[in-house]
Amino acid sequence: MTKRLGLFLGLGFCGVVLLLTGLAWDAVAHAHDPGLAGREGIFTLRNPGHMLLGLGIGLVLVSLIGGCETLLASAGGRWARPAVRLAFLAGCTARVVPAAADTSWAAGAAHDHPAALHGGAKGALASSVDGFHGHGPDRVASGDPAGGAAGGAAARHDHGPAGDGTTAPGDATTAAGGDGLDGSAAGSAAAGPAPVGHDHSAAGRSDSAGAAHDQAATGSASTGRGPSGPGSAAGGATHDHGAGSSGEPGPGPAPGAGPAGDGGTADGEHHHDPGAGAAQPPGSGAPQGTWVEVRYGPFVIPPESAGGGADRSDIVVPTLTKPCSNCFLQQMEPDLVYADDSPANLDTGLMLHHAVLFSAGRPDATCGPSEPFPGKLGQRFFAAGNERTPGLFPPGFGYYVDSGNWSGIFHIMNHSAEARSVYFRLNVRWSPAKEGGILPLTPLWLDMNNCRTSEYAVPAGPSSSHWTWTSNVTGRIVSTAGHVHNGGLRTTLSNQTTGDHLCTSRAGWGKKAAYQGSIESMSACTWDRVGTVQKGQVLDLETTYDAPQPVPDAMGIMMAFVFETTDLAAGTPAPPGVRGEGPAPVESTPPPSSGHDHH
C-alpha cells in the first residue's frame, strides 16, 4: 500500500514539474511575441507550453485521485468498502471528464486568422458586442453611384423606428491625470452608474440619458454610401503576407469624392481630394462593410470653476467595448455627444482635447513596449482631437481587430459654468475578416514629442519644427492625416531618404459655428499608394505654426498607415491634389490658442 501511495505521489511531483515548465515556456513565448495572445486561444495545443501545462494538470489529477483512493482502501472500516471507493472514483470522473471535454473544445475553437493575415487561414466572425440598435436609412446608399458621397452631420446618424436595443456593460472608467497624454496626475472624470436599457426613437433621442454605458449596434450594410471624407484613419495589424493573401483590390471609385476640389463633407470641411476629373484609386471589388456605433462614457466633467477647463487631465479607460472581433475596420467617424446624441462642442463649452485608442498586445511601430508610455499600453490605432477628423482607408484596406483588449485615454475639457455629462461616440464601418478582400494596415504614429506627452513649445509668429524617424517597416503608405493645435497651419510628411513629398495635411477653420473659430478640420491624404517607405529610410515630420502668441503645449502629429509589402510599384500613384499639394484653402489668420481650447 505504501509503495502504491508513493507511486501516485511521484506522478504528482512530475505533474508539478511539467506545470511549471509549461508556464515558463509560455511566458517566454509571449515575451518574445507580444501579439501571440491575440492569435491563440487559452488552450491552443500548437503552443508547446500549453501541451506541457495540460500534461502536468493530468498527472496532478491522477496523483490526487489515485492517492485519495489508496488512502480510502487503507483506512479500514466502511471507508474501505468497494462501494465507497467506486462512488469516489465515479464522482471524480464526473468532474474530470466534462472539464477535459471543455478543454478539448477550447483547444479546437481557438480563433482562426483572416486570409489576408495568414496565407488563407479561414477567419471566424465573432459577434458584435452586447447591446444592439439599428440604424436608419441614412446608413444605406446615400452616396452617388461612384461611391463618392457628400457626408455631413445630418446624414451621419439617424435612428430609425427599428432601432431598439439594450446597452453593453458600462466601462470601468478611472480618472488619472497626466502631463499632456502621460496620465500621471489626478484627473477629473467619474464613471457613471450601472447601464440601463437604451432605445432610440425616430427622432434619435436616447431614453437612457445619463446612464453609463459603452454600446455597440449593428447597422445596415453600406452598399454604396460614400464616406464622409478622408480623415486620420488608424489601423494596423500583426500579419504576414503568405500565398493565401487576398491580393490587390480591383479598380473602382475613389473614397469621399465630392464636388471638385472638396472633400465631400458637409458644413464646409476642407479635405484635399482631387477634382471631379481626377484619376480614381482601386477597390470597387472590396467589401462595403456594415455600420455600427460604439459609445464610451458617460464622462462627467466638472464646470470650469471646479477644474473642468484644466489641461493635463486625462481619463484612462482600461477596457473598451469593441465593435467587432476578427474583422477589419474600414472607416471611423468620431464625435463628442450628449446623451440625446446632440454634438458637444465649444459652442456649449465642451472640447475634445484628444482621444487615443490602444490595442493591447500589439507592438506600436514607433513607440514599442520598452517605452514606459505609451508603449506598454499597446498599439495606437486611432486618435481624434476636437476637429474630429474621420478615419478612412482606401477601398480594399483596413485595420484588423483581433481578440485582444482595447483601452483608451480621453481628455475632455468643460469651459461652461455647469457640470456636463458626455460620451465619446465612434461610428464604425467594418467587414468580417472571413469574407476576404481586405488588406491589413500597420499604423505609424509620428509625433513631435513621441513616447512622451506629445506636447512641445512653439514661439509666436511663423515657425517650423522637424521630427524624424527611421522606418522599421517596408510598404506602401495608403492614408495619413495630421493634428495641430490652434495657431497651427499644417503638418507635412516626407521621405527624407528619397526626397519624396508624401502628404501635407492642412488645418481648416472659420466655417462651423460650433467650433467658435477654432480648428475644425484637418485634410487627409488617402490613396492606394500615397507613397512608399522602406526599412531603414528616414521619414520627416514637419509641423508649421503661425501663432499670434507662444503656444507652450502645441502638438504636431501625423498617423500614417502602411500596407506592408515589398511590391512598392503596385497600386497607382496619388495625384498631387490628394497629397495636399497646391495653395492652402484658408487665407485668414489661423485661430490663436487661448484659455478656451488647449491651455
CA torsion 432-434-440-445 (nearest 10°) is 40
* Cα(569)–Cα(265) distance, integer angstroms: 31
Contacting residues for 447 by C-beta, under 8 A, at least 6 apart: 366, 454, 467, 541, 555, 556, 557
Cell numbers at residue 522, please? 484637418
Task: Reply yes or no: is the peptide bond before residue 374 cis, omega within 30 of 0.
Answer: yes
Domain boundary among 88, 108, 128: 108
Instruction: Give the relative orientation of helices 2-32 and 48-75 as an angle to the nearest 10 degrees.
Output: 160
172 plus 43 within the same structural domain: no
326 plus 452 within the same structural domain: yes
Contacting residues for 346 by C-beta, under 8 A, at least 6 apart: 386, 415, 514, 515, 516, 518, 596, 597
Q: How many CB atoms lie within 10 A of CB 557?
A: 26
80 plus 209 within the same structural domain: no
Distance of CA 310 to the CA centre of its chain: 26
183 plus 100 within the same structural domain: no
> Does 15 reside within a domain?
yes
481 plus 375 within the same structural domain: yes
Dihedral sign for Cα 440, 472, 322, 142, please: negative
pLDDT by residue for the chain (599 residues), tens only, comes to 677 778 878 887 897 888 798 788 777 766 655 445 544 555 566 678 777 877 878 888 888 887 787 777 777 777 677 787 788 778 888 877 777 765 665 555 444 334 344 333 333 333 333 333 333 333 333 333 333 333 333 333 333 333 333 333 334 333 333 333 333 333 333 333 333 333 333 333 333 333 333 444 434 333 333 333 333 333 333 333 333 333 444 333 333 333 333 333 333 333 333 333 334 455 567 899 999 999 999 999 999 888 887 765 789 999 999 999 999 999 999 999 999 999 999 999 999 999 999 999 999 999 988 887 788 899 999 999 999 999 999 999 999 999 999 999 999 999 999 999 999 999 999 999 999 999 999 999 999 999 999 999 999 999 999 999 999 999 999 999 999 999 999 999 999 999 999 999 999 999 999 999 999 999 999 999 999 999 999 999 999 999 999 999 999 999 999 999 999 999 999 999 999 998 776 656 678 765 555 44
> Does 115 reside within a domain?
no
275 plus 368 within the same structural domain: yes
Q: How many CA atoms lie within 13 A of 595 on its CB side?
A: 6
Report pLDDT for 53: 78
- Using alpha carbons, select from 563, 508, 487, 553 the residue that is nearest to residue 532: 563
- Residue 140 has φ and ψ, to the nearest 5°, of -125, 120
Report pLDDT for 45: 64
* Strand order from edge to edge, sheet including 556-564: 442-447, 556-564, 475-484, 524-533
* Cα(397)–Cα(390) distance, integer angstroms: 16
61 plus 148 within the same structural domain: no
Report pLDDT for 588: 62
Cell numbers at residue 516, please? 467658435
287 plus 381 within the same structural domain: yes
- Using alpha carbons, select from 350, 341, 272 the residue that is nearest to residue 304: 350
3-class secondary structure, 82: helix
> Does 211 reside within a domain?
yes
CB-based contact 403:293 (threshold 8 Å) = no
Q: Which domain holds residue 197?
A: 137-564
178 plus 89 within the same structural domain: no
Cell numbers at residue 185, please? 496626475
- Using alpha carbons, select from 104, 102, 107 the residue that is nearest to residue 43: 107
Distance of CA 579 to the CA centre of its chain: 25
3-class secondary structure, 532: strand
Report pLDDT for 164: 37
Report the length, in residues, of the chain.
599
173 plus 231 within the same structural domain: yes
CA 260-266-272 angle, 5° bins: 40
Q: How many CB atoms lie within 10 A of CB 294?
A: 26
> Does 371 reside within a domain?
yes
342 plus 407 within the same structural domain: yes
* Cα(411)–Cα(356) distance, integer angstroms: 9
Instruction: Give the relative orientation of helices 48-75 and 82-108 as an angle to the nearest 10 degrees.
Output: 170
Report pLDDT for 42: 53
DSSP 23-80: HHHHHHHHHH-GGGGGTS-TT-TTSHHHHHHHHHHHHHHHHHHHHHHHHHHHH-GGGG
394 plus 530 within the same structural domain: yes
With a threshold of 0.75, does the pTM exceed it? no
Helix (H) or strand (E) holding 199: strand 198-199
Strand partners, 538: 470
DSSP state of 182: S
Amino acid making up residue 436? G
> Does 584 reside within a domain?
no
Cell numbers at residue 465, please? 519644427
> Does 311 reside within a domain?
yes
Helix (H) or strand (E) holding 220: strand 216-221
Residue 28's Cβ-count burial label (10 Å; 0-12, 13-18, 19+) is exposed
Report pLDDT for 224: 36
Report pLDDT for 433: 96
Dihedral sign for Cα 482, 484, 490, 491, please: negative
Number of structural domains, the chain? Answer: 2
> Does 113 reside within a domain?
no
* Cα(595)–Cα(589) distance, integer angstroms: 18
- Residue 530 has φ and ψ, to the nearest 5°, of -65, -35
> Does 329 reside within a domain?
yes
